[in-house]
Amino acid sequence: MSELRFALITSGILVFSYITALNVSSLDRVLAYVGSTGSTAISFILPGLFYYKISDPEGIHHQRLSKEDDDADYSDSSDVEDAPAMLDSTASIRSVVSAVSVTTRAPLRWCRKWRWDMEHLEHALLRKLALALSIYGVCVMVVCLTMNMFLT
């Protein structure tokens, strides 16, 4: 970001904050607006959008994360002979449960039967659910802002 753009954005935020501080007589209205926008953005909108952006198979972020995982697997392959009890980063939890259940049998049988994780869901479905979470968050934000404007 250039210094001019940074200075303009910072000045705009400061001027807007100063005008808001001069015109607001009660702090509870300000806190209601900040809470309705900030909490829904942090809880619903941003996590869904982040996952949607990162999980795009054609996107640069997904390719970077995949490359880092491949590099980690390559560097960890020499350590596997030294520590056979350790698993590499791509091993599924299912293999861990089955390896442990072979040795202990009875206590972990229910883990395999009732196990539910992200491996069983399709990638496209998870992306759609992440986008739906973000849209739901926008709807919640609109309802909260509407209630703050008209019911207080």
Please give the full DSSP string across 2-17, using - where no structure is assigned. -HHHHHHHHHHHHHHH
Q: How far is CA 141 from the centre of its chain?
A: 18
Distance CA 76, CA 92 (A): 16
* % of residues, the chain, pLDDT over 90: 35
Q: Rounded mean pLDDT of the chain?
A: 77
Distance CA 137, CA 118 (A): 22
pTM attached to this predicted model: 0.56
Q: What is the per-residue pLDDT for 120? A: 65
Please give the full DSSP string across 33-93, using - where no structure is assigned. HHHHHHHHIIIIIHHHHHHHHHT-TTSHHHHHHHHHHHHHHHHHTTTTTT-TTS--TT--H
Distance CA 2, CA 119 (A): 44
Q: Which two tokens stand for residue 18?
A: 């100063």
pLDDT one-digit tens code per residue, 68-80: 656 666 655 555 4
Q: Which two tokens stand for residue 65?
A: 């994360």
Q: Which residue has the tokens 């198979």?
A: 57
Q: Which two tokens stand for residue 16?
A: 């807007």
pLDDT one-digit tens code per residue, 44-69: 999 999 999 888 878 787 777 777 65
Distance CA 15, CA 19 (A): 6
Let me know: does 28 contact 140? Beta carbons within 8 Å: no
